[in-house]
Structure 1
Amino acid sequence: MSPESPYAPLLASIPLTVSEVSVLGSRTRYWVYSPADAERTVVIVHGYRGEHHGIEPIIANLPGVRFVSPDLPGFGESTPLTETDHSVAGYSAWLVAFVDALELEAAPIVLGHSFGSIVVSHAVAGGMRPLALILVNPIATSGLKGPRQWLTGLTVFYYGLAKKLPARWGRRLLGSWVIVQLMSSSMAKTKDRALRRWIHREHHTYFSRFASRDVVVEGFAASISADVSEFAAQITVPTLLVAARLDDITPVEAQYDLTEAIAGSTLVVLDDVGHLIHYEVPELAASAITDFLDTLPAS
């Protein structure tokens, strides 16, 4: 995490190891936050254009849980997939193979944030059997049906333009400081100026750590090609949804519909926050996760 992180002291107390494994042609780098007495293991799938740093504030507030947090192929420090494409199905196949490669003693809990919620739901619907599922800011309905349609349309145009431009110029557009700042400013809901500055720094530091223009464009196409509701009927493991009332990507009404569609699932809606639960109110997300973990059988 960056030096200004308000969660750095908590995170520093958790033992950390970094490893790497080859999965479907991707040299996947992953971080294990593992207290010696951890009874639960949670495998994380982060959101689109994010990487493992983004979920660290939640990890910092759950010191008794072992987290395995990889960078998605093509983002952060993980190389792109070569044996499949960067689609929802491709990332889902990667997730299944990645968890298998970990050779865990017991089935883990799987946490998906934003785009990651689509990937993990696809994997579970396809037969993956984690102990439980946690969806933070789940994409409960099509990303093209968000509450702010003008912003959605602008985003689609932006990625379409990046795809049409020569690769060099497309990459420069995708990494534009101005564009990243506009994105960060529109998504942050907190009125805390210091926290907003830190959120913007996080986005400027990590949002453009991608392997190529093509990986980003393929990933965006994947992010708007499906949503969790498509797989809801096939999700039969205990599931927690942590949603935000002010989410600009998924309207909160869709989260209630998704909860009804996933049998036996639990929904926690956080007020006064949008699509950045992991940055703005990680302690509230951690509290909801703790309550959920307490309802699960022992590993």
Structure 2
Amino acid sequence: MDNVDTARSSPGQYPSQSALDDEFFSATLPGRTTASAVHVDGSKVAYWTYEPVTITPLTRTILVIHGFRGDHHGLLRVADHLPDMRIIMPDLPAFGSSEPFARDEHSVERYGKFISGFMAALGLDEKTVLLGHSFGSIVASHFAAANPGAIYPLILINPIAAPALEGPKGIMTKLAVLYYQVSAKLPRTLGLAVLRNRVIVRIMSITMAKTKDKSLRRFIHGQHDAYFSAFADRKSLLESFKASVSGHVAQVAEELTFPVLLIAGEKDEIATLPNQYKLMQRLPAAKLEVIPDVGHLIHYETPVPAAEAIRTFLEEHPA
């Protein structure tokens, strides 16, 4: 691997140790963690590797693509409950600790090209499992469709199954587009203040969280407060948002001819359950796992059943 910087994390140096709560993460997670960086197409990309605690014949390497405005922290609870897997989670370019693309627009197609470059830099082969959450489901599915044989199989959590600008949520999506457009045109300091406004972030967090567990809700809000505003700049954020609302998994459904696991939330208001069933019917070899009493935050609220569904699926579809 060329141009890769690696640092083993210790409990005192773990990148997100200040945000970790013993109630929501295992004691083994810091010891599994290696923080690294690699240059892909001229941009420095930060990524984290979670080595398996126990290696079994079923141990796989899973490449995880996070959602819009998130970073690798969002999928940590799922990774924590897969101690028999090797999990690699980059911060997508322009989010978290990764630099934006040097010259290109932050589109679904460009993020797919990033996956190709990232896999090549790390020497990841066609046995790699690809997992995408929310916006990451769009990026992962389009990449898999455009690069047959590059990964196997595909796992999508809270997949964006239908156009965001259509249906009952279309008006809200269009308002969100306006929000990002206006924020991008305001003077820099004011625009960033609007985008990183804690009240707006908290409203979003409250709306998506479905759990009635007060402690878990506090944890979720804390995660969003800490990481939801860790984007590189307004331009790349607006480009990424436009990509997130213009693309969806159904656009490439018929091209995904290999096994695909859909993990959906029963109460998801962004990626609704009826659209998940429609998507499953269009996929040639799909399995749909519906987790009850959760919405778009499966990765925070119900990581255990999500991890169990992933493990079972990989047992059914070995490398």
Cα deviations by residue, 1:208-261 (Å, 9 ceiling, x for unpaired): 001111111111011011100001111122110001121111221110111111
1:70-85 pair list within 5 angstroms: 70-85=90-105
Instruction: Tell me, in whole angstroms, the C-alpha distance in 2 between the residues paired with 1:121 and 1:286.
Output: 20
The residue that corresponds to 2:251 in the other structure is 230
| In the alignment, structure 1 residue 221 sits paired with structure 2 residue 242 | yes
Cα deviations by residue, 1:99-133 (Å, 9 ceiling, x for unpaired): 11111355200000000000011111111420100
Select which of 41, 44, 52 maps to 1:27.
44
SS at match of 1:138: coil
Select which of 92, 100, 116 maps to 2:136.
116
TM (norm. structure 2) is: 0.89
The residue that corresponds to 2:7 in the other structure is none
Kept in 1, the 8 Å contact 2:165–2:246? The answer is: no
The residue that corresponds to 2:273 in the other structure is 252
| CA drift at 1:11 | 4.8
Select which of 180, 195, 204 maps to 1:183.
204
SS at match of 1:73: coil
Change (3 A) 1:10 1:155: farther
| CA drift at 1:151 | 3.6
| CA drift at 1:83 | 4.2
SS at match of 1:249: coil
Instruction: Tell me, in whole angstroms, the C-alpha distance in 1 between the residues paired with 2:168 and 2:83.
Output: 35
Instruction: Tell me, in whole angstroms, the C-alpha distance in 1 between the residues paired with 2:169 and 2:217.
Output: 21
TM (norm. structure 1) is: 0.95
Task: Name which of structure 1's ranges 210-219 and 41-50 shifts more when overlaid on structure 2.
Answer: 210-219
| In the alignment, structure 1 residue 194 sits paired with structure 2 residue 215 | yes
SS at match of 2:34: strand
| CA drift at 1:147 | 4.9
- Aligned residue-pair number: 298
| CA drift at 1:146 | 6.0
Given residue 135 of structure 1, which amino acid in structure 2 is its aligned partner? L
1:23-172 pair list within 5 angstroms: 23-35=40-52, 37=55, 39-104=59-124, 107-128=127-148, 129-145=150-166, 147-149=168-170, 151-172=172-193
| In the alignment, structure 1 residue 8 sits paired with structure 2 residue 29 | no
The residue that corresponds to 1:18 in the other structure is 35
| CA drift at 1:158 | 1.6
Cα deviations by residue, 1:242-286 (Å, 9 ceiling, x for unpaired): 011211112211101111111111001111110000000011101
SS at match of 1:116: helix
Q: Tell me, which stretches of 5 or more residues in structure 1 are unaligned? A: none
| CA drift at 1:29 | 0.7
Kept in 2, the 8 Å contact 1:10–1:60? The answer is: no
Q: Tell me, which stretches of 5 or more residues in structure 2 are unaligned? A: 1-15
Instruction: Tell me, in whole angstroms, the C-alpha distance in 2 between the residues paired with 1:52 and 1:146.
Output: 30
Change (3 A) 1:264 1:168: same
| CA drift at 1:88 | 0.6
Kept in 1, the 8 Å contact 2:32–2:52? The answer is: yes
| CA drift at 1:40 | 0.3
Cα deviations by residue, 1:150-178 (Å, 9 ceiling, x for unpaired): 54343233212212312332111110001
Instruction: Tell me, in whole angstroms, the C-alpha distance in 2 between the residues paired with 1:289 and 1:147.
Output: 31
Instruction: Tell me, in whole angstroms, the C-alpha distance in 2 between the residues paired with 1:146 and 1:174.
Output: 26
Select which of 291, 296, 303 maps to 1:282.
303
Instruction: Tell me, in whole angstroms, the C-alpha distance in 1 between the residues paired with 2:85 and 2:175.
Output: 39
Given residue 151 of structure 2, which amino acid in structure 1 is its aligned partner? P
Task: Name which of structure 1's ranges 56-65 and 7-16 shifts more when overlaid on structure 2.
Answer: 7-16
Instruction: Tell me, in whole angstroms, the C-alpha distance in 2 between the residues paired with 1:105 and 1:253.
Output: 34
Kept in 1, the 8 Å contact 2:137–2:159? The answer is: yes
Kept in 2, the 8 Å contact 1:180–1:207? The answer is: yes
Q: How much identity, in percent, do the aligned residues show?
A: 43
